[in-house]
């Protein structure tokens, strides 16, 4: 995924860029920034660290539940999302998490499908949780933004964060879990805006 970004960003004339990545996207962004720092002006990493992930959010259970969702053809998207929400609610209790996941439900040729590759994610979950040992560092401005109720960034991760990202700021959003942007959207946006406004 990092290699894909390394090829795509210059093609789109988006370099150097402000790169924001959440969870797996954050791992991708970290690898890109360390390997190709000239492509990244600023870096925001949302509830993820450069340490293999040990926190468990029942990703496998969630993805299995998403795969099991069945929606009849030719419904309005709003009705389809309501039906999917009803089918997911026994397994995924948090409304904010379900609402976030449902943004991935799309219509394709009259059928409702998940835009994300659920099967690929399920099969590669162990690799997704891992993180390579990187050499070098990214010396640009970096924000690690964690959810106060999440275990994805631990104090024990801070030395490796500082080794790879020496200018890193590490902030926590109160009242947020792993899906900060869904749990506390205003605080999430305010934290990023404050970081981007720094000289």
- Nearest Cα to Cα of residue 101 among 179, 166, 164: 179
- Nearest Cα to Cα of residue 82 among 55, 42, 112, 61: 112
Check if the beta carbon of residue 87 is closer than 8 Å to that of residue 114. Answer: no
Active site residue: 60, 86, 89, 119, which one? Answer: 119
Verify whether residue 23 is a known catalytic residue: yes
Cα(160)–Cα(143) distance, integer angstroms: 14
Per-residue CA distances from 194 to 165, 181, 187 (Å): 19, 15, 10
Verify whether residue 119 is a known catalytic residue: yes
Active site residue: 178, 181, 187, 191, which one? Answer: 178
Cα(31)–Cα(28) distance, integer angstroms: 5
Q: If residue 94 lies in a helix (H) or strand (E), which one and from where to where?
A: none
Check if the beta carbon of residue 23 is closer than 8 Å to that of residue 47. Answer: yes
Active site residue: 22, 23, 49, 191, which one? Answer: 23
Verify whether residue 178 is a known catalytic residue: yes
The catalytic residues are 23, 119, 178
């Amino acid at each position: 995924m990092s290699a894909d970004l390394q090829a795509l960003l210059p093609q789109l004339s988006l370099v150097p860029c402000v790169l924001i990545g959440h969870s797996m996207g954050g791992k991708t962004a970290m690898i890109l920034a360390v390997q190709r720092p000239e492509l990244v002006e600023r870096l925001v990493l949302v509830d993820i660290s450069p340490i293999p992930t040990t926190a468990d959010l029942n990703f496998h259970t969630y993805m299995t539940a998403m795969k099991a969702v069945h929606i009849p053809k030719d419904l309005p998207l709003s009705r389809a999302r309501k039906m999917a929400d009803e089918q997911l609610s026994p397994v995924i209790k948090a409304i904010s998490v379900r609402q976030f996941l449902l943004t991935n439900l799309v219509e394709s040729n009259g059928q409702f499908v998940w835009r994300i590759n659920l099967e690929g994610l399920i099969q590669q979950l162990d690799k997704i949780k891992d993180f390579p040992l990187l050499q070098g560092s990214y010396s640009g401005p970096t924000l690690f933004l964690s959810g106060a109720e999440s275990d994805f960034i631990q104090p024990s991760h801070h030395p490796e964060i500082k080794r790879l990202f020496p200018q890193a700021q590490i902030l926590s959003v109160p009242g947020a879990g792993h899906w900060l942007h869904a749990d506390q959207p205003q605080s999430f946006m305010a934290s990023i805006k404050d970081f981007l406004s720094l000289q």
